[in-house]
Amino acid sequence: MDAYQSIGIRRRMKRFFRRNGRTLIFAMDHGFEHGPTDFEEHWEHVNPKIIIRKVMRAGVDGVMMLPGLARFAGDEVKPDRGLMIKLTSKTNLRPKDEQLLQSQLGYVGDAVKLGADAIAATVYWGSPQEDVMMRQFAEIASYAHDMGFPVVQFAYPRGPYINKKYGKKEDYRVVMYGARAAVESGADMIKTYWTGSKETFAKVVDAAAGVPVLLSGGAKTENPVDFLRVVYDVIEAGGAGAVVGRNIFQRENPEPLIKALIRVIHRNEEPEEAAKAEGLL
């Protein structure tokens, strides 16, 4: 790759990662992927400007969103934090047998115009429509890399074959496979599922061969310490941080949890210690 492009990728990566190589990114694509019901617990957070202001104040390192939200809420993301724009998605409204496909809803040029620091796309590895998503990812990565932008792959193993052979999509053998496929298809960062233990997640990190692996947050845990423990283990396993949505916006006041996550991710604090320091215990 031309030296200028790789300098661009390196500089833009640094907008997400602190010097310790770790990051906490807020995810805000749920209104599209899950539907606005995800915001019903704290309805004011359906307004991206309100929740983004809160997460900025609390100190997250970056925000991930789809291009449409970035058009009117992207400038709430402070210029010294990373803006990740995701170019593929799907709604929960489609027929079940088409849920294993993400469609492209924007182009690299759109993300660049919106001020993106990184460009993301999902691949459901193992889906019957894997081929379509591989092609989308290849095209997005090729354009983005050409322009010096890092590419994030949401590397999610999903599909009937996986369920049959491994029992669940979070089995570390398939998560590890997805992470490896992400690396080999050109990802600069990987977002994937929790495998259930530090030991198995460490294998996912190894399979990613140096490409940063980020946890995909998952459903809100009633006890915030349970989530802090998972993130702690991700870091212990060599993971580079987390991309978190529901555990943040489904809390009326997300600030203490965000600050506790920052303690765990950036300062290696134990989950209980971090929770106590932020008044969560």
Ligand X SMILES: O=C(COP(=O)(O)O)[C@@H](O)[C@H](O)[C@H](O)COP(=O)(O)O
Active site residues: 156, 191
Q: Is 130 in the site for ligand X (CB under 6 A)?
A: no
Q: Is 68 in the site for ligand X (CB under 6 A)?
A: no
One of 29, 61, 171, 269 touching ligand X (CB under 6 A): 29
| Residue placing its CB nearer to ligand X in the complex, 132 or 147 | 132
Q: Is 54 in the site for ligand X (CB under 6 A)?
A: no
Q: Is 169 in the site for ligand X (CB under 6 A)?
A: no
CA dist., res. 226 & res. 231, Å (int): 9
CA dist., res. 267 & res. 154, Å (int): 26
| Residue placing its CB nearer to ligand X in the complex, 8 or 76 | 76
Q: Is 245 in the site for ligand X (CB under 6 A)?
A: yes
CA dist., res. 204 & res. 79, Å (int): 32
Choose one: 41-49, 110-118, 244-252, 253-261; the region binding ligand X (CB under 6 A): 244-252
| Residue placing its CB nearer to ligand X in the complex, 9 or 214 | 214
Letter for the amino acid at 152?
V
Query: What residues contact residue 215 under an 8 Å CB cut-off, 6+ apart?
Result: 191, 192, 193, 194, 230, 231, 234, 239, 241, 242, 243, 244
214 bridge partner residues: 191, 241
| Residue placing its CB nearer to ligand X in the complex, 10 or 94 | 94
One of 16, 154, 177, 194 touching ligand X (CB under 6 A): 154
Site for ligand X in 193-232 (CB under 6 A): 216-218
C-alpha distance across the termini of the chain, in Å: 50
CA dist., res. 140 & res. 97, Å (int): 25
| Minimum gap (Å) between residue 205 Cβ and ligand X | 19
SS3 72: helix
Q: Is 155 in the site for ligand X (CB under 6 A)?
A: no
Q: Is 251 in the site for ligand X (CB under 6 A)?
A: no
Letter for the amino acid at 42?
H
C-alpha closest to that of 129 among 160, 154, 105: 160
Render the burial of 128-157: b for 16+ CB within 10 Å, e for the rest. ebbebbeebbeebbebbbeebbbbbbbbbb
| Residue placing its CB nearer to ligand X in the complex, 8 or 177 | 177
Using CA atoms, how far residue 113 sits from 29, 83, 86, in Å, is 19, 12, 14
Choose one: 6-14, 27-35, 75-83, 259-267; the region binding ligand X (CB under 6 A): 27-35
The token pair that represents 223 in the structure block: 């006890």
One of 14, 18, 33, 56 touching ligand X (CB under 6 A): 33
Q: How many residues bind ligand X (CB under 6 A)?
A: 13
Q: Is 30 in the site for ligand X (CB under 6 A)?
A: yes
The token pair that represents 202 in the structure block: 């460490």
| Minimum gap (Å) between residue 33 Cβ and ligand X | 4
CA dist., res. 223 & res. 204, Å (int): 26
Q: Is 246 in the site for ligand X (CB under 6 A)?
A: yes
| Minimum gap (Å) between residue 243 Cβ and ligand X | 5
Radius of gyration of the chain (CA): 17
Binding site for ligand X (CB under 6 A): 27, 29-30, 33, 154, 216-218, 243-247
